[in-house]
Amino acid sequence: MDKTRMTKQRKTIINILKDTDTHPTAEWIYDQVKKEIPKISLGTVYRNLNLLAEKDQITVINYANEQSHYDGNTKNHYHFKCKNCKRIYDLDLDLFSKDLNKIANQNTNFKVSDHRLEFYGLCPICK
């Protein structure tokens, strides 16, 4: 059973997130919640965001707390990250590369020039 409690802090954070499509930062959410709960702390916002992400009720875009990784290979290629050992592998599927941009351009009104595609799962060693 789930021992989590629905505090007014948590409820407010969830509502704010469900009501926007601006993909906000913790700081922005914090500012919004403060309008309703002036004494809320930023730590509480982070704790709740992490909890919600763990329960897959929200998604984290660009997890900022990892180290940066660098790639000396500038040829266009994709990456695969093993969920188990965290290793990053190169993937040779540039077949789509141009197609993906084209499809995105044709189906939206953005001027798409680039994309980043990353796969996740288990590598040969871990599976």
Return the biggest CA–CA distance within the chain. Answer: 53
Of 16, 17, 32, 40, the residue at the interface with DNA (CB under 7 A) is 40
Rg (CA), the chain: 19
Helix/strand/coil for 78: strand
User: How far is 35 from 40, CA to CA, in rounded Å?
Assistant: 10
Residues 64-83 close enough to bind DNA by CB under 7 A: 64-65, 67-68
Let me know: does 31 contact 38? Beta carbons within 8 Å: no
- Choice between 44 and 80, CB closer to a copy of itself: 80
* Alpha-carbon dihedral sign for residues 26, 30, 33, 35: negative
- Choice between 14 and 104, CB closer to DNA: 14
| Tokens describing residue 88 | 């990053």
* x/- letters, 43..62, toward DNA (CB under 7 A): xx-xxxxx------------
Q: How far is the CB of 95 from DNA (least distance, A)?
A: 31
Residues 19-78 close enough to bind a copy of itself by CB under 8 A: 19-27, 29, 49, 53, 56-74
Q: Which residues bind DNA (CB under 7 A)?
A: 3-10, 25-27, 37, 39-44, 46-50, 64-65, 67-68
